Amino acid sequence: MRKVLAVLLIAFVVFPMALATLSTIAVSTWALDRNFYTDLVGDPRLYDALLSEDVPNYFGRRIAVREVDGVPARALSQALREVVTPEYLAGEATRIVDQVFAVIEGESSTFVITLDVAPLKDALRGEAGRRFAQTLAANLPACASGQESRAPGGTIVRCLPSNVSVEEATGVIVNALPAYLDEVPDQIDLARDRVFLTGVARGWNTVALGQGALNFAVLILVLITGGLWLAAAFIGGEDRRERLLWLGWSLLVPAVLVFALGLLVGADFSAGWVRFGLSQARFGDFEASDSFRLALQDVARAALDTVANGFLMAGGVAGGIAIGLIAWGYTTPKTRRMVPAVAPSATQPALPQEAPTPTQSEPPAG
């Protein structure tokens, strides 16, 4: 009866708890690690793709100024490379990660993601502004027959007439930049709505969701699961050998599953699902180009390696402990059980006893 109870306890309580605990330990190695995300967003491959197509298209949609209407994306992309550098984009991405973690760690109650374009505006008002204008003018296409060189009501040329040189177009663009920059805000809100975490990130019931809180949750899970694990082993085992075997085998199964999950995440099989997910993903009103999606797939592949290592570590350590307990159990000698002597019961008749045989030293009766 005790062994049946132990099996039920392990199957329906200990096993799912151990699986959840090991998975949480695996996730805790990276889920709330700020450096993990800053390393990902610092990958230069992302910014090469962004600068080639996505940044000009995004600026053209989010900064609705009439002067840039109709400017070809390729020309604007080449011009923006004069002021928008990979270092600038990496810095902004890191700052956004810091904004997210400020909310997660309880430092802020408002989740707002903004892009700081003030450094770009300052650069365009200086020498970089002329380089921007020269590059833009040099990459503008020739105007088609009957096409106006400027957008309706605008001042920045969108194509080069046959009677206008690149230098003349550069001057026009340089003269138009101050008025254009005055209409560009210093901060661009990248989110459609602001998220307020009232009561979660502030007040008397503040709950910081940082790495420390996750580590505390892992500790609580380990203590609860460990207590149930030991209880099941003491219920099922009658001596030290059996208890060690119960502990080892009940831990080995979830450890193997977590380790196998790490192998699956790290295998090429998961890369196909990542590519499919990114191809179907929509980033708000940001329409990502194919080149950016390809770069994002490479970065996601690196992230999956880190995720897989967490599961491999948790499953491997737990599996090693389980194998050690099993080996210890099999090398532990069995405890000999002493069977007590059974006294005859009151209802059981006593066996007949033979009369003592007289010896020769005793005279015969009579």
Backbone angles phi, psi at 195, to 5 degrees: -110, 120
Q: Which pLDDT band holds residue 21 (cuts at 50, 70, 90)?
A: very high
Q: Which pLDDT band holds residue 66 (cuts at 50, 70, 90)?
A: very low
Q: Which pLDDT band holds residue 191 (cuts at 50, 70, 90)?
A: low
In this predicted structure, which of 81-90, 101-110, 165-174 has the lowest mean pLDDT?
A: 101-110
Q: Which residue has the higher pLDDT, 258 or 186?
A: 258
User: Does residue 168 carry a pLDDT above 70?
Assistant: yes
Backbone angles phi, psi at 176, to 5 degrees: -85, -15
Provide the token pair at 338: 């002493």
Backbone angles phi, psi at 113, to 5 degrees: -105, 120
Q: How far apart are alpha carbons 37 and 97 in whole angstroms?
A: 7
What does the mean pLDDT of the chain come to?
80
Q: Please report where in the chains the tokens 């007040």 appear, as a residue.
A: 203
- Spatial CB neighbours of 352, under 8 Å, sequence gap ≥ 6: none
Q: According to the model, what pLDDT value does residue 298 have?
A: 84
- Ramachandran quadrant class, 106 (left: phi over 0; alpha: psi -120 to 50; beta: rest): left
Backbone angles phi, psi at 197, to 5 degrees: -105, 60
Radius of gyration of the chain (CA): 38
In terms of average pLDDT, the best of 146-160, 261-275, 324-338 is 324-338
DSSP state of 189: E
Q: Please report where in the chains the tokens 């990902």 appear, as a residue.
A: 40
Q: Which residue has the higher pLDDT, 311 or 66?
A: 311
pTM above 0.85, yes or no: no
Q: According to the model, what pLDDT value does residue 266 have?
A: 82
- DSSP states of 111-158: E--EEE-HHHHHHHTTHHHHHHHHHHHHHPPBPPTT--SB-TT--SBS
Q: According to the model, what pLDDT value does residue 154 have?
A: 65
Provide the token pair at 26: 């695996």
Provide the token pair at 332: 């532990």
Select from 159, 323, 328 the least CA-distant residue to 253: 323
Q: What is the mean pLDDT of residues 61-87?
A: 68
Q: How far apart are alpha carbons 85 and 97 in whole angstroms?
A: 19
User: Does residue 318 carry a pLDDT above 60?
Assistant: yes
In this predicted structure, which of 29-43, 137-151, 282-296 has the lowest mean pLDDT?
A: 282-296
Select from 276, 96, 271, 51 the least CA-distant residue to 191: 96
Task: Check: CB of residue 158 under 8 Å from CB of residue 71.
Answer: yes
- H helix intervals, the chain: 2-9, 15-28, 34-41, 44-49, 55-62, 73-80, 86-104, 118-124, 127-139, 166-182, 211-236, 240-266, 268-280, 290-331
Q: Which residue has the higher pLDDT, 110 or 313?
A: 313
Cross-strand bridge partners of residue 286: 283
Task: Check: CB of residue 133 under 8 Å from CB of residue 170.
Answer: yes
User: Does residue 340 carry a pLDDT above 60?
Assistant: no
Select from 52, 49, 71 the least CA-distant residue to 60: 71
Q: Is 195 helix (H, G, I), strand (E, B) or coil?
A: strand
User: Does residue 207 carry a pLDDT above 70?
Assistant: no
In this predicted structure, which of 72-86, 286-300, 313-327, 350-364 has the lowest mean pLDDT?
A: 350-364
